[in-house]
Amino acid sequence: MICKEVMRKLEERWNPSYALEWDNVGLLVGREEKEIKKIFTALDATEETIAQALEFGSDLLITHHPMIFSPVKKVTSADFIGRRLITMIQADLCYYAMHTNFDVKGMAQLNQECLGLTDCEVLEETAPGEGIGRVGALEGTMDLKQFAGKVRNDFEIPDVRMYGDPAAIIHRVAVSSGSGKSMIRGAIEKGADVIVTGDVDYHSAIDAVAQGIAVIDAGHYGTEYGFIAYMRQELETMFPELAVGTARVHHPYRVV
C-alpha cells in the first residue's frame, strides 16, 4: 500500500478539515508514492521516537503533535529540527501528523472514556456538533482530593497538580487534553466543578479557583499519550496487512 492510500483512509476518519486554522497536520515529510509496509506511532517526533521508528523498520511515522509549526528557513545539522528532518529524508521515512483534527475526532472521546464521564457535551465547539474537550458527569460524587487520585490512576501517570479545596465536592467534570488553560472559561460557563487538563500556569490556576472551579493539571503528555496505544489498535484494524509499532511510554519529567 502506498503512502497516499494510507493517508486517504486516515483522512476519512480524522479529516484535516477539523484541524484548527493555526495547526499543521497531514504529510509533513516524505513521498506520497512511498510503499508502506510498517507504521510507527508516537506522540512526538523526537530523536528518540524517530530512532525507535527506524529500528522497527518503519516506512511511515504517525504522531499527534506536528514537529513543524513555524516556517523552516534552513535544514541543516546545526538545528535540532533540521537534524530530525535530515534523518527522516535520508531514511526515506514518511512523517504524518494528526493534531487538532484528532483532538476533535478522537482525543476528547478518549479522555471522556478514561474518566468514565456520562451525559457528555462538547466543551468548545469548533464545527457543528464537534469540538475540543468534553464536559460530563461522574457516576456519583467524590471530594477533590479523591478525584485527583482518580485522575492520576485513570491516566496512569505518576502525579497531578491539584488547585482548589481538597474537600470540595466534585460531580460535573470538564476535560481538555494537552494545554487547556484557555478552556477554563468555557468549563465555568458549563457548570463544571473541576477541569482536567495540562500546562496550567500559576495565575490561571488560582484565578480559576477564585471563580469557583477547581483545576487538576495532569500534564500535557499525561492527558495525551493514550494516542499511541489507541492509534495502534485503530491502525491494526484499518490496515491488517501492515505491521504497526509504537513508541515506548516515557513521561518527560520526574518529580524529585
The boundaries of the domain holding residue 67 are 3-98+225-246
71 with 109, same domain? no
In a domain, 252, yes or no: no
d(CA 159, CA 251): 11
119 with 68, same domain? no
pLDDT, tens digit, for every residue of 37-48?
999 999 999 999
178 with 119, same domain? yes
pLDDT attached to residue 166: 98
250 is in an annotated binding site: no
In a domain, 26, yes or no: yes
CATH number of the domain at 179, please.
3.40.1390.30
81 with 58, same domain? yes
Q: What's the angle, vertex CA 3, arms to CA 5 and CA 98, rounded to 5? A: 90
| Cell, residue 31 | 513521498
pLDDT attached to residue 37: 98
pLDDT-derived band at 124 (thresholds 50, 70, 90) equals very high
Across the chain, mean pLDDT equals 97
134 with 242, same domain? no
Is the dihedral angle over the CA atoms 159, 160, 164, 167 positive or is it negative?
negative
pLDDT-derived band at 32 (thresholds 50, 70, 90) equals very high
109 with 33, same domain? no
193 with 166, same domain? yes
pLDDT-derived band at 153 (thresholds 50, 70, 90) equals very high
In a domain, 254, yes or no: no
pLDDT attached to residue 171: 98
Inter-CA distances, 221 with 10, 105, 153, 187, 250, Å: 23, 19, 15, 21, 9
In a domain, 212, yes or no: yes
pLDDT attached to residue 99: 98
pLDDT-derived band at 173 (thresholds 50, 70, 90) equals very high
Diameter over CA atoms, the chain: 58
Helix, strand, or coil (residue 135)? strand
116 with 216, same domain? yes
224 is in an annotated binding site: yes
203 is in an annotated binding site: no
d(CA 230, CA 96): 16
Strand partners, 61: 40, 95
Among the listed residues 64, 70, 73, 55, the one whose alpha carbon sits nearest the alpha carbon of residue 95? 64
In a domain, 11, yes or no: yes
Percent of the chain at pLDDT > 70 equals 100
pLDDT-derived band at 23 (thresholds 50, 70, 90) equals very high
212 with 113, same domain? yes
In a domain, 53, yes or no: yes
pLDDT-derived band at 22 (thresholds 50, 70, 90) equals very high
pLDDT, tens digit, for every residue of 55-95?
999 999 999 999 999 899 999 999 999 999 999 999 999 99
pLDDT-derived band at 21 (thresholds 50, 70, 90) equals very high
103 is in an annotated binding site: yes
In a domain, 32, yes or no: yes
63 with 168, same domain? no
38 with 116, same domain? no
In a domain, 120, yes or no: yes
User: Phi/psi at 239 (nearest 5 deg)?
Assistant: -130, 70
pLDDT-derived band at 159 (thresholds 50, 70, 90) equals very high
Task: State mean pLDDT over 221-247.
Answer: 98
pLDDT-derived band at 186 (thresholds 50, 70, 90) equals very high
pLDDT attached to residue 204: 98
Structural domain tally of the chain?
Answer: 2
18 with 117, same domain? no
Summary count for the chain: helices (H), strands (E)? 10, 11
pLDDT-derived band at 24 (thresholds 50, 70, 90) equals very high
